[in-house]
């Protein structure tokens, strides 16, 4: 059930209408039931009356119930040493389930390939495993809960119902943001208020999200798909254009999901955390990670980088921690070495930036007025953007588009694709260019990228406010909303591509 589908709105509108008239306790029960229904929709193999239709709901609730139990046990124990076994149990259960469903085949394949390369002949182990949707997201959210209770930073949830709702709340269930229990669990437990302001802001965020997804990401997707499906057949210019398309597509796609999730939550009186803060306007790589997928990067910082020692254990250890954090962050996205390389590349970027800064603090402020300062800042933004775009080659090579038309048996492996892409970008080699982009489609793609930057990102960046349009004067506000709506209707891509982050 995609947010941009009729089915979703057929589900959401009655749920919202009922939600508005129920008392707090029943609101939570009702939302929990709606979330189960929403999540079980992703299991198309079995009909709704078959118990197996709910197997992944069952899996999610089993791990969540264990964490709820572990949280209560830890809260009852004062001594940190005695809490530790309970934390280990929670970590083992959550990471074990994640490892089995997401990484078993990957590690089995990697081990097989490594042994095979060393001349050791072993049988190949492969299991037919279906990856449960959103397992990476809810696992991290659940882990944050038990770790924070272990650290004494959080009181356990008052009821299992509220805790299950915190984990499974449908707007953010499938692709985040990864909310912290201090914020979302507290909102589940407390009565929420419905306000007119939240409704207008929520509706605006939903419109922004739909615009980004339908009129930007889905327009760019076919061009990026074409370039990544057969990089060996594209000219360097086409590959560069395809890379720009993917760079904007992934941002528009993922931030669209977050905007819609936040908008839906706002309608219901919830406040989900911001996940994006105009990342492509970052003037350095450190700042990029403060603006991109904020809920994941802050999770990795708080629950991985800092526990590893952060920057408190000397230079070498700091760089090791950075690499390890980014490597695991890369692998979190998917079971493929290309994701790991993407993570390592970002680790390298961050390490070089740290080295370059010396002891200085990384800043990302708008420059003081002046042509020279503005130019320097613009160059930094441009350089950061291109470094990020370069790294996306590995990310995209490891994750073929879920809606890709025509990429069947001829599709390349992630490494081969990344290698061909990098080779093809080199402008001085001999190339056979049989793939040419349709000029109309290219024009639409350029317009879509420009619309994203000019209509949404620049106003938000300058005012540091997501719903900046609402503060404009009436005629401008109407004009802007009407333009977004007409654009959404006119430039709607005929192909409906699932959100990229659904596969993680």
Residue 481 in the binding site for another protein (CB under 8 A): yes
How far apart CA 112 and CA 116 sit, in angstroms, is 6
Give the closest residue to 491 by CA, choosing from 100, 216, 166.
216
How far apart CA 357 and CA 369 sit, in angstroms, is 23
**Which residue is listed with tokens 């990029």?**
288
What φ, ψ does residue 308 adopt, rounded to 5°?
Answer: -70, -10
DSSP 470: G
Q: Two tokens at 115?
A: 């042994």
Residue 21 in the binding site for another protein (CB under 8 A): yes
The span of 93-101, 127-135, 391-399, 487-495 binding another protein (CB under 8 A) equals 487-495
Binding residue (CB under 8 A) for another protein from 7, 159, 373, 471: 7
**3-class SS of residue 368:** coil
How far apart CA 61 and CA 64 sit, in angstroms, is 5
The span of 3-11, 61-69, 138-146, 386-394 binding another protein (CB under 8 A) equals 3-11
The span of 17-25, 103-111, 178-186, 340-348 binding another protein (CB under 8 A) equals 17-25
Q: Which is nearer to another protein, 79 or 409 (CB)?
A: 409
| Shortest spacing between CB 487 and another protein, in angstroms | 11
Site residues for another protein, 187-216, by CB under 8 A, read 191-196, 200, 203
Residue 84 in the binding site for another protein (CB under 8 A): no
Residue 503 in the binding site for another protein (CB under 8 A): no
**Active-site annotation holds for 333:** yes
Residue 485 in the binding site for another protein (CB under 8 A): yes
**Which residue is listed with tokens 């309970």?**
86
Q: Which is nearer to another protein, 50 or 495 (CB)?
A: 495
Please identify which of the residues 172, 333, 431, 466 carries the catalytic annotation.
333
Q: Which is nearer to another protein, 26 or 125 (CB)?
A: 26
The span of 47-55, 125-133, 364-372, 479-487 binding another protein (CB under 8 A) equals 479-487
Residue 450 in the binding site for another protein (CB under 8 A): no
| Shortest spacing between CB 471 and another protein, in angstroms | 12
Q: Two tokens at 259?
A: 């905007």
Q: Which is nearer to another protein, 62 or 194 (CB)?
A: 194
Q: Which is nearer to another protein, 20 or 92 (CB)?
A: 20
Dihedral sign computed on CA atoms, order 333, 339, 340, 343? negative
Binding residue (CB under 8 A) for another protein from 324, 496, 502, 503: 496
How far apart CA 440 and CA 90 sit, in angstroms, is 53
| Shortest spacing between CB 484 and another protein, in angstroms | 9
The span of 85-93, 150-158, 315-323, 483-491 binding another protein (CB under 8 A) equals 483-491
Q: Two tokens at 231?
A: 């990089």
Dihedral sign computed on CA atoms, order 158, 163, 165, 171? positive
How far apart CA 299 and CA 177 sit, in angstroms, is 11
| Number of residues engaging another protein in binding (CB under 8 A) | 41
Residue 502 in the binding site for another protein (CB under 8 A): no
Q: Is 278 left (phi over 0), alpha (psi -120 to 50) or beta?
A: left
The span of 180-188, 327-335, 460-468, 480-488 binding another protein (CB under 8 A) equals 480-488
166: Cβ contacts below 8 Å, ≥ 6 apart = 141, 145, 157, 179, 181, 184, 185, 188
What φ, ψ does residue 23 adopt, rounded to 5°?
Answer: -80, 170
First-to-last C-alpha distance (Å) of the chain: 16
Q: Two tokens at 335?
A: 């079971």
Site residues for another protein, 402-441, by CB under 8 A, read 405-410, 439-440
Q: Two tokens at 75?
A: 């809260």
**Which residue is listed with tokens 């049989």?**
434
SS (H, E, C) 97-142: HHHHHHHHHHHHHHHHHHHHHCCCCCCCCCCCCCCCCCHHHHHHHH
Site residues for another protein, 148-177, by CB under 8 A, read none
Q: Which is nearer to another protein, 5 or 373 (CB)?
A: 5
Q: Which is nearer to another protein, 195 or 373 (CB)?
A: 195
In order, the DSSP letters of 323-356 are HHHHHHHHHHH-SSHHHHHHHHHHHHHHHHHHHH
Binding residue (CB under 8 A) for another protein from 111, 130, 237, 478: 478
Q: Two tokens at 260?
A: 């819609």
How far apart CA 466 and CA 457 sit, in angstroms, is 9
Contact letters for another protein, residues 267-286 (x by CB under 8 A): --x-----------------
Residues known to be catalytic: 333
Residues making contact with another protein (CB under 8 A) = 2, 4-7, 20-24, 26, 191-196, 200, 203, 269, 405-410, 439-440, 443, 474, 477-478, 481-482, 485-486, 489-490, 492, 494, 496
């Amino acid at each position: 059930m995609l947010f941009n589908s009729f089915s979703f709105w057929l589900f959401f509108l009655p749920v919202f209408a009922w939600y508005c008239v129920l008392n707090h306790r029943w609101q939570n029960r009702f939302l929990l039931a709606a979330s189960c229904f929403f999540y079980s929709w992703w299991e198309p193999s079995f009909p709704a009356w078959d118990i197996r239709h709910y197997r992944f709901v069952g899996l999610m609730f089993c791990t969540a119930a264990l964490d709820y139990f572990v949280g209560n046990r830890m809260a009852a124990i004062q001594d940190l040493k005695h809490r530790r076994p309970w934390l280990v149990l929670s970590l083992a259960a959550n990471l074990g389930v994640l490892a089995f469903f997401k990484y078993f085949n990957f590690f089995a394949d990697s081990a097989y390939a490594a042994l095979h390369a060393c001349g050791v002949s072993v049988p190949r182990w492969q299991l037919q495993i279906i990856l449960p949707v959103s397992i990476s997201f809810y696992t991290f959210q659940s882990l944050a809960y038990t770790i924070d209770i272990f650290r004494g930073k959080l009181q356990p949830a008052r009821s299992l119902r509220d805790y299950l709702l915190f984990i499974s709340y449908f707007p953010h269930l499938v692709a985040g943001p990864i909310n912290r229990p201090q914020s979302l669990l507290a909102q589940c437990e407390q009565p929420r208020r419905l306000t007119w302001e939240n409704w207008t802001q929520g509706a605006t965020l939903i419109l922004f999200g739909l615009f980004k997804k339908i009129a930007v990401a889905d327009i760019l997707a076919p061009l990026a798909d074409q370039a990544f499906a057969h990089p060996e057949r594209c000219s360097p210019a086409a590959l560069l254009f395809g890379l720009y398309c993917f760079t904007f597509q992934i941002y528009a796609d993922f931030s669209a999901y977050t905007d819609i999730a936040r908008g839906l939550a706002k309608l219901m009186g919830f406040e989900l955390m911001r996940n994006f803060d105009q990342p492509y306007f970052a003037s350095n790589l450190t700042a990029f990670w403060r603006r991109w997928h904020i809920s994941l990067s802050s999770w990795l910082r708080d629950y991985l980088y800092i526990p590893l020692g952060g920057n408190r254990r000397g230079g070498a250890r700091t760089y090791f921690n950075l690499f390890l954090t980014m490597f695991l962050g890369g692998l979190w996205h998917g079971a493929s070495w290309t994701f790991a390389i993407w993570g390592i590349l970002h680790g390298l970027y961050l390490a070089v930036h740290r080295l370059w800064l010396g002891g200085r603090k990384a800043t990302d402020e708008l420059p003081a007025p002046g042509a020279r300062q503005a130019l320097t800042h613009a160059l930094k933004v441009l350089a950061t953007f291109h470094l990020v775009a370069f790294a996306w080659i590995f990310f995209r090579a490891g994750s073929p588009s879920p809606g890709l038309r025509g990429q069947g048996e001829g599709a390349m492996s992630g490494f081969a694709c990344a290698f061909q892409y990098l080779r093809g970008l080199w402008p001085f080699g001999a190339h056979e260019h049989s793939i040419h982009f349709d000029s109309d489609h290219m024009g639409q793609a350029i317009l879509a990228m420009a619309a994203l930057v000019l209509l949404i990102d620049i106003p938000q960046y300058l005012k540091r406010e997501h719903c900046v349009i609402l503060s404009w004067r009436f005629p401008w506000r109407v004009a802007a909303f009407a333009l977004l709506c007409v654009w959404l209707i006119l430039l709607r891509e005929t192909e409906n591509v699932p959100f990229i982050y659904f596969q993680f």
